[in-house]
A and B are shown apart, each in its own frame.
Chain A
Amino acid sequence: MNMKRLLSMIFMSLFLIPALLFATGTKEQAKDSAGDGIITLSVYHFLDQTDKTTAPNFQYLVDVFEKANPNIKLSFEYGYGEAFHDKLQTMAMSGQLPDIVLLYPGERTSQVTNAGLVQDLRPYLSGHEDEFADMAMQGQGKNGEIWELPEDISITSIMFTNNRLLKELGLTLPKTYEELLAQGPAIRAAGLIPISIANKDAWPMQSCVAGMLVERACGLEWFDKAIAGEARFDDPEFVYAMQIIKDLTDKQMLSPGTNQLTYGQGLDDFVQEKAVYFIDGGWTVNNMVGELSAEQKTYMSLESFPDIPNQKGQSLSTSATAGQGFGMNAKLSKAESDAAWKWIWFYSGPEGSAIRQRFGRLPAYNLAEPKDADPMIQKLVAYAGKVPMGYVMDSVLAAEPIGTFNINLQNMMFGTKTPKQVAQELEAMVAAIGR
């Protein structure tokens, strides 16, 4: 008897101790504990610390900022890939969001923004709205809040073209989709890949191809309606866009085994001139700056996917979205918020943008064209200035429908789902979640 009571008491306390821990609130840490006027802010950033290009570039920006602001100390934590999002989510759920955090404009980080964990940046930004691309100033919250100040404009669909190979094969840049398809046999006969794209991770086909094709096949007006719920994703126009991806696959226009190639192998094949075309986002220019030789840079050009038959959208359009950027924790004090804003404004505002432009990015902040930049960067800026832009699907739809859609595109390429089924399932999921 005695033992039983003791045992049950032990068990009770085992359960109670952690329960109490959950129940108690978290102490706010004092940021200026030393009283020396230095504000320390924690920053959570998406960065591959081993990347030979982006990591040193980012460090350079931090160094410039810290030199100019000796009273602000930034302490960084980096996450990368899926791990970044897992950790962010865990931090958000436990109320341990860092002071400054990298967020995405669309649904990807909505668990942070929707929960009211970050501040609306509009009061800080007011007066500067015109200095940014319009796309970057679109409201991100239900009431038009700006949760993060976009650093870049992401053009997600560029058809990089190797003009040397084209010439060698006696081909010219295709004006129409049919012309592109007609080039397939000649390119393959030469032992080359027509269009290099690596889709193992399932997002590239959606982000770099589908959004662009939807704008072409359906037009921007339809796209707006579909997002608002006035048009349906199983409309024939949308199915037609899916059909084009299916055709590209069936006619062997894409990298062989594209669905088993990890992202990056697409670029590898292009840099090694095993592929004539390469579809990817504008962010890859960053890598091309370092990886293409000076000679290669003279004959690699940035193009749009050719126009498709019965096109309703704009000619040679691409898909683009305002990119990620830093937001700040809603719990910050006035002084901390001001310090955090200094960093955000430095990073996405004129100073940081100018630096990042030189590194090969496409800042959302309006800048003059860079005269002394790398040729590939100049090409990217020129490309961005001339093409019409539609939406990127994952920036306008929620995480779960997009996740399923990405996978369904793979299913469709394997022939286990038809374009029509893919469209219907997307419509069903979007409708179920509520637009």
Chain B
Amino acid sequence: MTFSQQKRMSYYAFLAPGLLLFASIIIFPVAYSLTLSFTSFGGYGTPKFIGLANYAKIISDEVFLHSLRNNLLIVAISVFGQIPLGFLLAYLLHRKMVRNGNFYQTMIFLPITISPVVVALLWNQIFSSSGMVVAIIRRLTGENQYVMRIFEDKQLAIVPILFVLLWMHTGTYMIIFYANLQKMTPSLLEAAQIDGASESQMMMRIILPSMVGTIATTAIFAISGSLKAFDLIYAMTGGGPAHYTEVIAIYMYINTFKYYKYGFGSAASMIIVLLAVGLILLLQYISRKFERRFE
């Protein structure tokens, strides 16, 4: 066996186990559901080909559009909420602006260890009419029939969920940024400090530019995670009341598993993938521009 043969064989051997599993468990079923998305398959009988009809129907469905809006809000809260907050917290910890930094770091990261189903139940208990928040407000106002009306507002019902998502995920980003900040050569900052640079100047000129890559990468995870968000929301509200908190993954789930519309549901899950690819390409375009500017 020549060296290059040996190299090629090793290459395949290293890749094979992972790729084999990945292909048979994820790629193949996805291909299967891509095919189904062009049919009106309803669970039994032979699938009937209907072209893009499912996609057309989804895009004109009011419920889908509201779900899409909710998904985009979740993307927004992750990209413009969790990531900057995570960065800010990491920065404060890194620059030792608070005492007991280690303790705070532990506490802020803690929620990520808890299963989304548990988080949902916990917060449901807290917000529910027999829960903690309502009990406090009832005691404070003396109004014993008080309930939180925010859950019944079409536009705002998603807000408590956004809040819980923020609580859940900020810690992850904080840890990632914290770790990367620590990796920076301290001499750079020291030199800047000696030159009399202010805190904000250091942040803008030195720290942020070196973090562009990390920010872009975390944003990719934030986007893909946000678009397939399901567990937490399904366990908290099931998409209700009246579809107000529905997201695309729940929309897909209800159509597939409750209404037995496999073709339709498959089309919805393909839309999630398409959206994510689109957003990530956009993000890569933006971050490349930024990188160039900082160079």
Q: A6-B12, A403-B259 are in contact. Are A260 and B24 (CB under 8 A)?
A: no
B23 touching A202, Cβ below 8 Å = no
B151 touching A260, Cβ below 8 Å = yes
B242 touching A411, Cβ below 8 Å = yes
Q: Is B19 an interface residue (CB 8 A)?
A: yes
Majority SS at the chain A contact face: helix
A414 touching B260, Cβ below 8 Å = no
How many whole Å from B165's CB to the nearest CB in chain A?
19
User: Which listed residue (A92, A201, A256, A411) contacts B238, Cβ 8 A?
Assistant: A201
Q: Which residues of B contact A2 (CB under 8 A)?
A: 8
B152 touching A260, Cβ below 8 Å = yes
Q: Is A421 an interface residue (CB 8 A)?
A: no
User: Which listed residue (B8, B19, B43, B241) contacts A92, Cβ 8 A?
Assistant: B43
Q: Is B31 an interface residue (CB 8 A)?
A: yes
How many whole Å from B36's CB to the nearest CB in chain A?
11
Q: Which residues of B contact A73 (CB under 8 A)?
A: none
A side interface size, CB within 8 A: 42
Q: A19-B28, A115-B44 are in contact. Are A403 and B254 (CB under 8 A)?
A: yes
Q: Is A200 an interface residue (CB 8 A)?
A: yes
A111 touching B44, Cβ below 8 Å = yes
In Å, the complex CA distance between A19 and B243 comes to: 37
Q: Which residues of A contact B243 (CB under 8 A)?
A: 407
Q: Is B182 an interface residue (CB 8 A)?
A: no
In Å, the complex CA distance between A115 and B151 comes to: 40
A260 touching B154, Cβ below 8 Å = no
Stretch among A9-17, A27-35, A384-392 lining the B interface:
A9-17
A115 touching B241, Cβ below 8 Å = no
Q: Is A129 an interface residue (CB 8 A)?
A: no
Q: Is B129 an interface residue (CB 8 A)?
A: yes
Q: Is B145 an interface residue (CB 8 A)?
A: yes
B240 touching A200, Cβ below 8 Å = yes
Q: Is A3 an interface residue (CB 8 A)?
A: yes
B24 touching A257, Cβ below 8 Å = no
Q: Which of A115, A200, A260, A403 has the most CB of B within 10 A?
A: A260
Looking across the interface, which residue of chain B has its beta carbon closest to that of A89? B257
Looking across the interface, which residue of chain B has its beta carbon closest to that of A88? B257
Q: Which residues of B contact A271 (CB under 8 A)?
A: none
Restricting to A31-86, which residues have a CB under 8 Å from any CB of B?
A: 82, 85-86
Q: A89-B43, A259-B152, A260-B148 are in contact. Are A82 and B257 (CB under 8 A)?
A: yes
Q: A257-B129, A407-B242 are in contact. Are A15 and B152 (CB under 8 A)?
A: no
In Å, the complex CA distance between A14 and B45 comes to: 27
In Å, the complex CA distance between A82 and B42 comes to: 18
1/0 contact trace for A400-435 toward B, CB 8 Å?
100100011011001010000000000000000000
B23 touching A14, Cβ below 8 Å = yes
Q: Which residues of B contact A191 (CB under 8 A)?
A: 144-145
User: Which listed residue (B8, B19, B145, B147) contacts A3, Cβ 8 A?
Assistant: B8
User: Which listed residue (B42, B146, B258) contacts A403, Cβ 8 A?
Assistant: B258
Q: Is B130 an interface residue (CB 8 A)?
A: yes
Stretch among A261-269, A340-348, A353-361 lining the B interface:
A261-269
Q: List 29 A-B contacts (CB under 8 A).
A: A2-B8, A14-B20, A14-B24, A15-B27, A18-B28, A82-B257, A86-B257, A92-B44, A93-B43, A111-B44, A115-B45, A193-B145, A200-B237, A200-B238, A201-B238, A202-B240, A202-B241, A202-B242, A256-B129, A256-B145, A260-B128, A260-B129, A262-B128, A403-B259, A407-B242, A410-B240, A414-B154, A414-B241, A414-B242
Binding site for A on B (CB under 8 A): 8, 12, 16, 19-20, 23-24, 27-28, 31, 42-45, 124, 128-130, 144-149, 151-152, 154, 237-238, 240-243, 254, 257-261
Q: A201-B240, A265-B129, A403-B259 are in contact. List 19 more A-B contacts (CB 8 A).
A: A2-B8, A10-B16, A10-B19, A89-B257, A93-B44, A193-B145, A200-B237, A202-B242, A256-B147, A257-B148, A257-B151, A257-B152, A261-B129, A262-B124, A399-B258, A407-B240, A407-B243, A410-B240, A410-B242
Which 5 pairs of residues, A with B, have the shortest CB-CB distance?
A: A257-B147, A115-B44, A410-B242, A14-B23, A259-B241
